[in-house]
Structure 1
Amino acid sequence: MLRRLALASAIAFSGLLAAPVIAQDASAPAASVQQTPVQVVQEITSKLDTAIAGQRDKLKNDKEKLIGVIDGVFLPHFDIDYASILVLGQHAREATPEQRSHFAKAFYNSITHRYAEGLLNYTRGRVKVLPFGGDLNDKRSVVRTQVAMDDGKLVSVDYAFRKSSSGEWKAYDVIIEGISYVTNYRNQVDAEIKKDGIDKLINTLETQGAKALDTLEKDGKASQ
């Protein structure tokens, strides 16, 4: 299951970063007005199209520059602090503010480094954004999509959004075929912290980055 999650994740994360734009009518709010979750995805698409246009090969050979593009476009729409608290689970209450901050940055950086190349390998049309049926009066919402895999099968990928205190919608989780990315890593992070402590985990994420996530998934699979 973790193998399938990892495979779909590479496309799913690039799908959030490069999902097809859905036509809007003239009454759709401008970027300066509070956006719906779907409109957030649309804005990300537009900015990324501009950011990578004409320099795909260059970005492929310069991963740090690619990461910079992703950070500049995606990070403003991702609730990294909330997502990291969910991943830490019960350990978030035990951690100091400084530890939570360091973990959030290290975990986010690990994920972006792991899936950055997925953006360059993305083929337009693989991700279909489904009609939105949520209630924007709620504090949480979901953008539902379908991702076409290499074998032609469709995988359901949902992006969970949370409304901030300022009224902005920000993504914090990816749910692939019912499997929450936050929950999946929370179980593995929990085991790692109980084993070696949160400071050791943070150091591992900071020094090993994407390789640390691979280790977490392998360990999680072995324990099943």
Structure 2
Amino acid sequence: MSVSADGLSTASAQDLVRQTSDRLLKTVKAHQKELDDHPDRIYSIVENIVVPHFDFWRVAQLALGKYWRQATLEQRQRFTNEFRVLIVRTYSVALLKYSEQKVHYLPIRGSAEANDTIVRLEIQPGEGSPSILMNVHLYNKNGSWKIFNVAVDGVSLVTNYRADFASQIRNGGLDQLIEKLAEKNKKAGA
């Protein structure tokens, strides 16, 4: 176990991810019948259990890359809100498909001096399905661990969206991207 400068251990980051995942999967299992009938209710479960552990401002900043510095505060806020809804919706839909998964925690990555760490998980969706490797990137924000990126089988959430968003901004500007995200979220009923 390593410890950061302010006393946060990388093991506590793994504990946070483990406890959050366990609580989320138990809640989904406990409400499976209700979720089968009303799948949109998964959003509030994810909002209550997972979202508090994300730093969406940082996620949004990383996803916009150089365009973040060019954005106004109002654009940053609007983008962060719409991007958060998109991530929650996407994660929630995937969660419903894989709620019976088994999760194994691999050794964490991070040094004693680092203020960030990577919690590595191996997710086994079921018999005959290949394992999914997930890296949860966390950093120390004011004495607590916050998630700022997730990579699934080597594909980074932030990097994946950054390339798409950069292309959309070059073609139509940031305001148009925000409007498209808002429209997509509205159509999805989120």
Answer yes or no: same fold by TM over 0.5. yes
Q: Which residue of 1 aligns with 2:46?
A: 70
Q: CA deviation at 1:126?
A: 3.3
Question: Which shifted more, 154-163 or 55-64?
Answer: 55-64
Q: Which residue of 2 aligns with 1:43?
A: 19
Q: What is the one-letter code of the residue matched to 1:194?
A: R
| Counterpart contact for 1:111–1:210, Cα < 8 Å | no
1:115 aligns with 2:84: no
Q: CA deviation at 1:135?
A: 2.4
In structure 1, what is the Cα distance between the partners aligned to 2:168 and 2:146? 28
In structure 2, what is the Cα distance between the partners aligned to 1:155 and 1:207? 31
| Counterpart contact for 2:104–2:123, Cα < 8 Å | yes
Match of 1:187 among 149, 160, 163: 163
Moved over 6 A (4+): none
Match of 1:162 among 135, 139, 142: 139
Q: Which residue of 2 aligns with 1:140?
A: 116
Q: Deviations over 1:22-46 (max 9, x none)?
A: xxxxxxxxxxx98721111122134
Cα distance change of structure 1 residues 211 and 175 upon mapping to structure 2, 3 Å threshold: farther
The alignment partner of 1:209 has SS state of helix
1:130 aligns with 2:103: no
Cα distance change of structure 1 residues 47 and 147 upon mapping to structure 2, 3 Å threshold: closer
1:58 aligns with 2:34: yes
TM-score (norm 2): 0.82
Cα distance change of structure 1 residues 125 and 69 upon mapping to structure 2, 3 Å threshold: closer
Match of 1:104 among 48, 73, 80: 80
Q: CA deviation at 1:201?
A: 0.9
Q: CA deviation at 1:127?
A: 2.7
Match of 1:205 among 163, 166, 181: 181
Q: CA deviation at 1:50?
A: 5.3
Q: Which residue of 2 aligns with 1:25?
A: none
In structure 2, what is the Cα distance between the partners aligned to 1:177 and 1:47? 23
Cα distance change of structure 1 residues 149 and 44 upon mapping to structure 2, 3 Å threshold: closer
Cα distance change of structure 1 residues 67 and 37 upon mapping to structure 2, 3 Å threshold: same
Q: What is the one-letter code of the residue matched to 1:70?
A: V
Cα distance change of structure 1 residues 123 and 109 upon mapping to structure 2, 3 Å threshold: closer
Q: CA deviation at 1:147?
A: 2.7
| Counterpart contact for 1:60–1:66, Cα < 8 Å | no
Q: Deviations over 1:151-190 (max 9, x none)?
A: 43333221111111x1111111112333222111101100
Q: What is the one-letter code of the residue matched to 1:173?
A: N
Aligned residues: 179
In structure 2, what is the Cα distance between the partners aligned to 1:132 and 1:87? 24
Q: Which residue of 2 aligns with 1:219?
A: none
Cα distance change of structure 1 residues 137 and 167 upon mapping to structure 2, 3 Å threshold: farther
**Percent same amino acid at aligned positions?**
27
| Counterpart contact for 2:118–2:138, Cα < 8 Å | yes
| Counterpart contact for 1:36–1:136, Cα < 8 Å | no
Matches within 5 A, 1:10-21: none
The alignment partner of 1:84 has SS state of helix
Question: Cα RMSD between the aligned structures?
Answer: 2.5
